[in-house]
Amino acid sequence: MPTTRREFLAGVAAASLAAAVPLPAAERLPIAFSTLGCPAWELDKILDFAEQHGFAAIELRGLMGTMDLPSRPEFAPTEIDATKKKVGAHGLKVACVSSSAELHEADPQKREKTLGDARNFIDLASALNAPYVRVFGNKIEGPKDEVLTRVVSGMKELAAYSRPKNVTVIVESHGDFTDSATLKEILTRADSPNAALLWDAHHTFATSHEQPEDTVQALGKWIRHTHLKDSVPKGADRQYVLTGQGDVPVKRQIQALQKIGYKGYFCFEWEKAWHPELLEPEVAFADYARGVSGYLRSSSGD
């Protein structure tokens, strides 16, 4: 039976993994990937792959089919120290622990549940020495001013909870919250050093049609973490492709961050958990590491 392109690329990636010599942590570039891209991988495989391919960090967004990370056995109180040591032994950091909390919720019961979930993720991030927990504004349903007030209130409440735990709550540019003006209003009104932004640079470009330099000029003071990915138009939607093969200006997004002295990770979000038809993580992660490492080196003059 003929080998498919996907099988060939997966084989190339596997061979690359076997031959790779891990870089010492101090020599790695600030690249990361989200575990959303490898929903079937166990933690050991995630850490091994990240180390072998020169990643400096991982973002925890689901593990082995569940998004409820605090319920995973790896993060139980009796196991958390061992898990943290395992991450460190691979020369890695946890860049962010990403929740599904949606701060637009108006229903009191749903709102308390989503805030409770966020607090559980903040506790987990603190235990892992992870600096950030991602939340969503997500949907604008009803009068916009009322929705923004709820999102701001949630950010303030979670920032106050996270501050003594050395964690910052970061709202993602996602859903109905992808334009700089709306995000700037939320973060200005939240007015806390523990309330900041996860810049999903794909969404501000593809959904709100902002140029990366303009987004960074408006929101750069709040950007603590990133989601980077590439895509092409597909009808009224977008189709994700390997980095550099689409029309999303990923290199310019990186350069815009470098110009403001961004100190966070350049994190790849390959949405394999939501789009199973995407190329396997062995291919996409390795491709991202090669491509974005090249962008970073060329921009720094190495």
Residue in 157, 156, 148, 155 with CA at minimum distance from that of residue 177: 148
What pLDDT sits at residue 209?
98
| Strand (E) or helix (H) holding 6 | helix 5-19
Average pLDDT, the chain: 93
Query: Is 106 a residue whose pLDDT tops 80?
Result: yes
Quick check: 264 and 226 in contact, CB under 8 A? Answer: yes
| pLDDT tens by residue, 171-194 | 999 999 999 999 999 999 999 999
| pLDDT tens by residue, 41-51 | 999 999 999 99
| pLDDT tens by residue, 209-219 | 999 999 999 99
Query: Is 21 a residue whose pLDDT tops 80?
Result: no
At residue 300 the predicted structure's pLDDT band, cuts being 50, 70 and 90, is low
Which amino acid, one-letter code, is at 61?
R
Query: Is 3 a residue whose pLDDT tops 50?
Result: no
Angstrom CA distances, 17 to 11, 45, 75, 238, stand at 10, 11, 27, 30
Which are the contacts of 80, defined by CB distance < 8 A and separation ≥ 6? 74, 127, 128
| Token couple for 34 | 């989200």
Helix (H, G, I), strand (E, B) or coil at 90: coil
At residue 301 the predicted structure's pLDDT band, cuts being 50, 70 and 90, is low
At residue 6 the predicted structure's pLDDT band, cuts being 50, 70 and 90, is low
Domain ranges in the chain are: 5-300
**Percent of all residues in the chain with a pLDDT value above 90, rounded to a whole number:** 89
At residue 1 the predicted structure's pLDDT band, cuts being 50, 70 and 90, is very low
- Name the superfamily (CATH) of residues 5-300: Divalent-metal-dependent TIM barrel enzymes (3.20.20.150)
What mean pLDDT do residues 89-106 have? 98
Partners of 171 in the β-ladder? 135, 197
Angstrom CA distances, 32 to 59, 176, 208, 217, 234, stand at 7, 26, 25, 24, 27
Q: Where are the alpha helices (DSSP H) in 207-280?
A: 212-219, 250-259
Partners of 206 in the β-ladder? none
